[in-house]
């Protein structure tokens, strides 16, 4: 499973790596700044999401209050963590915008507009979002959703260079992840594994934007030509008759980290496409390098070692979750480790120099595997995850035990704080033969969550009535109640130290797992996490005791950050709901109550009350649909299937609070339906063209299904006398 170990390299002068002098402290490599800033998305090169600042601590955290806020001028989700360098905050926002602010006051210095082609929205899997930017030597590096990577002058936001990172715009490529700087290159991946992307990561010279190297994560064929030697070995792990035309997935859409001492770049690789092994690689195989962690020499782009977390992945178990580098005392030795809690439910501790598996234990309920073999590093599959011959209930769900929301490591407590998702899902292969759709959704499987009130995502929906009852599917399995937790994990003892249930009122519903946002921890013995309720929570890092809760009035998904200027420590967070399955705003979320205008909110000790947006006015009754029913029963059934494939990832038809809920389209919107769907006349609002993916007749079938759903809801509403 692992290739040859890497070699050591010199430490770059631009990065200062600190080692702990005390064996009892688990200190991660970090970058120092004279203004106690926050210099990468995860604070430091090790991506710990930990700050050494301690002015705000467990004794005074309850005194945190409003310092300033900034309007991001978008209603799309906010998933990034800003950086602060020399008193300036740089924040990436949806589409690839960058906002530079005075970190003391929130006053705008400049804004960069990437000028994205709106048509790209039809290829977006999981929301128009950005997960961050990178800063190095006076340059800000940002990636736009259409794949444009730009180097900006930090002083004024002017583009110093700009490159197109996408190799084939006919396919479903987008970019939502953050660039990372590794020595003298800046590295960027891409999204689109659920569509028809073939994953890769590209490195560009920091000073010029010249392409330094590109590493493809899956082969393009069984026989070549191979872009680099690693693919020849990878091809041996695929069936020669694999569905090469689909792209096979393996996209690098999020987590990376860099160790300057070892001069190694760590890259997390995403899921396979198609999902089912039966369709993707019929004769089996590990299918390298999907769902893997890669250690790459950033000077050459060559592989030092790899570790595959989920061989032959068929559950969307990406290994793109944030990775944290640290030095841990394990037994009698202090080990240089890489830690990750990927979707598959196991928490991994690897030797980051060699890729050796040190431990892998479940941090959530897991049914697809009974454990990970310590000698081989391979999961021991139970068969419960094999849905090739019929539906199976599998733990974790495709949302994973942990998704993109950053976890954090505190070297003082030795604990990793994980926003945990506890959920299962039923997977099955549709009866209809799979047909490849270029640029469209190409998962080859369907899944449904056993959630209360989840519309098309629940087992009670019209699309899942043919499934066996949940009591049968879940026999002998863990509790299927959907919950979210903030879980403090001891990576040496391999156990939970403490946890807080973050489900709030949504226990059993989908928002239980989307309620909890990313995490930040500090030397003040604090852990910070926001929720979709709009509340920023503060806990004691040692035991999880609640220390404070600030009502922001805007739903929070992103990880907070902290910095110090002029002797004042600030905490800041980007607020706004969205992302995968986050286009629905259930009752009780701040987005449902106040709208979803994104903003940055900063706090300091003895600050004021956070100003909240104006509350939205909402209709209390179900309106009469704007048009009459039309289309045959077969048209409506076909429309529901098309809706599931193309639309439900954004428009959760019959789901609570869908934004927008298509059932309540106006008569004018009905008249414009084909222009909207096929011509992209509302692309600027996030609704791109689906021309080439669906026909005019299919668009009308979708509309017929939406209208039928609207009338069913209307007729089910009690009449008020």
Burial pattern 628-664, b for ≥16 Cβ within 10 A else e, equals eeebeeebbbbbbbbbbbbbbbbbbbbbbbbbebbbb
Query: Closest Cα partner for 603 from 36, 65, 55?
Result: 65
* Neighbour-count burial of 382, counting CB atoms closer than 10 A to its CB (0-12 exposed, 13-18 middle, 19+ buried): middle
What is the SS3 assignment for 533? coil
What is the SS3 assignment for 74? coil
DSSP assignment letter at 39? -
The DSSP line for 307-362 is EESSTT--S-----S-EEEEEEEETTEEEEEEEE--TTSEEEEEETTT--EEEEEE
CA dist 134 and 320 (Å) reads: 18
Taking the chain, what is the end-to-end CA distance rounded to the nearest angstrom? 69
CA dist 83 and 7 (Å) reads: 31
Which residues have CB under 8 Å from 385's CB, separation 6+? 314, 315, 367, 368, 369, 392, 394, 427
CA dist 78 and 552 (Å) reads: 14
Tokens standing for 469?
Answer: 């009852």
Give the CA angle between residues 696, 702, 705 to the nearest 5°: 145
In the set 313, 316, 327, 351, the catalytic residue is 316
CA dist 372 and 369 (Å) reads: 8
Give the Cβ contact number of residue 493 at 10 Å. 12
What is the SS3 assignment for 626? coil
Identify whether the C-beta of residue 558 lies closer than 8 Å to the C-beta of residue 408.
no
Torsion of the alpha carbons at 123, 129, 134 and 135, rounded to the nearest 10: 130
Identify whether 184 is a catalytic site residue: no
Please give the positions annotated as active site. 316
């Amino acid at each position: 499973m692992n290739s040859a170990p890497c070699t050591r390299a010199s430490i770059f002068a631009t990065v200062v790596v600190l080692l702990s002098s005390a064996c009892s402290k688990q200190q991660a490599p970090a970058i120092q700044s004279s203004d106690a800033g926050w210099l990468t998305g995860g604070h430091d090169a090790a991506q710990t999401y930990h700050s050494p600042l301690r002015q705000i601590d467990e004794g005074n955290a309850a005194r945190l209050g409003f310092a300033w806020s900034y309007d991001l001028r978008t209603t799309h989700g906010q998933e990034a963590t800003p950086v602060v360098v020399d008193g300036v905050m740089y924040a990436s926002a949806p589409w690839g915008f960058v906002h530079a602010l005075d970190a003391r006051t929130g006053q705008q210095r400049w804004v960069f507009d990437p000028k994205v082609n709106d048509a790209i929205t039809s290829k977006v899997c999981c929301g128009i979002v950005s997960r961050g930017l990178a800063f190095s030597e006076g340059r800000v590096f940002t990636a736009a959703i259409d794949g444009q990577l730009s180097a900006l002058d930090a002083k004024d936001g002017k583009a110093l260079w700009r490159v197109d990172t996408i190799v084939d715009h006919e396919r479903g490529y987008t970019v939502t992840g953050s660039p990372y700087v590794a020595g003298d290159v800046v590295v960027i991946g891409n999204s689109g594994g659920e569509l028809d992307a073939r994953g890769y990561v590209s490195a560009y010279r920091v000073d010029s934007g010249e392409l330094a190297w590109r590493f493809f994560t899956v082969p393009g064929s069984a026989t070549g030509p191979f872009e680099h030697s690693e693919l020849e070995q990878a091809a041996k792990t695929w069936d020669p008759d694999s569905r090469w035309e689909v792209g096979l997935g393996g996209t690098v859409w999020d987590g990376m980290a860099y160790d300057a001492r070892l001069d190694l770049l760590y890259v997390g690789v995403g899921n396979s496409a198609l999902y089912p092994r039966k369709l993707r690689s019929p004769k089996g195989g590990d299918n390298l390098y999907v769902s893997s962690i890669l250690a790459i020499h950033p000077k050459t782009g060559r592989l030092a070692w790899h570790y595959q977390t989920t061989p032959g992945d068929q559950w969307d178990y990406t290994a793109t979750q944030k990775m944290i580098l640290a030095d841990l005392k394990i037994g009698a030795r202090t080990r240089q480790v890489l830690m990750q809690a990927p979707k598959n439910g196991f928490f991994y501790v690897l030797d980051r120099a060699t890729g050796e598996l040190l431990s892998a234990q479940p941090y959530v309920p897991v049914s697809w595997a009974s454990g990970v073999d310590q000698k081989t590093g391979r999961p021991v599959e139970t068969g419960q995850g094999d849905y090739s011959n019929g539906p199976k209930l599998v733990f974790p769900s495709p949302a994973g035990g942990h998704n993109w929301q950053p976890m954090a490591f505190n070297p003082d407590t030795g604990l990793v704080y994980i926003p945990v998702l506890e959920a299962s899902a039923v997977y099955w292969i549709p009866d209809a033969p799979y047909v490849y759709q270029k640029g469209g959704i190409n998962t080859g499987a369907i899944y449904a969550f056993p959630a209360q009130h989840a519309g098309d995502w629940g087992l009670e929906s019209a699309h899942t009535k043919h499934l066996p009852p949940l009591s049968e599917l879940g026999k002998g399995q863990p509790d299927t109640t959907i919950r979210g937790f903030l879980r403090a994990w001891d990576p040496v003892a391999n156990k939970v130290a403490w946890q807080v249930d973050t489900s709030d009122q949504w226990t059993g519903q989908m928002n239980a797992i989307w309620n909890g946002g990313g995490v930040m921890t500090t030397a003040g013995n604090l852990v910070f996490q926001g929720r979709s309720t709009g509340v920023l929570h503060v806990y004691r890092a040692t035991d999880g005791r609640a220390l404070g809760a600030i009502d922001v009035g805007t739903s929070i998904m992103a990880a907070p950050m902290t910095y110090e200027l002029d002797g004042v420590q600030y905490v800041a967070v980007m607020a706004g709901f969205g992302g995968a399955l986050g286009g629905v705003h259930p009752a009780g979320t701040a987005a449902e109550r106040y709208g979803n205008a994104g903003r940055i909110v900063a706090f300091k000790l003895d600050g004021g009350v956070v100003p909240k947006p104006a509350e939205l006015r909402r209709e209390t009754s179900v309106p009469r649909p704007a048009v009459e029913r039309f289309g045959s029963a077969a048209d409506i059934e076909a429309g529901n299937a098309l809706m599931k494939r193309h639309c439900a990832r954004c428009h959760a038809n019959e789901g609570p609070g869908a934004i927008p809920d298509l059932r309540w389209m106006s008569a004018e919107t009905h008249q414009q339906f084909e222009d909207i769907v096929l011509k992209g006349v509302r692309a600027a609002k996030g609704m791109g063209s689906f021309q080439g993916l669906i026909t005019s007749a299919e668009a009308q079938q979708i509309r017929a299904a939406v209208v039928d759903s609207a009338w069913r809801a209307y007729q089910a509403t009690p009449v008020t006398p």
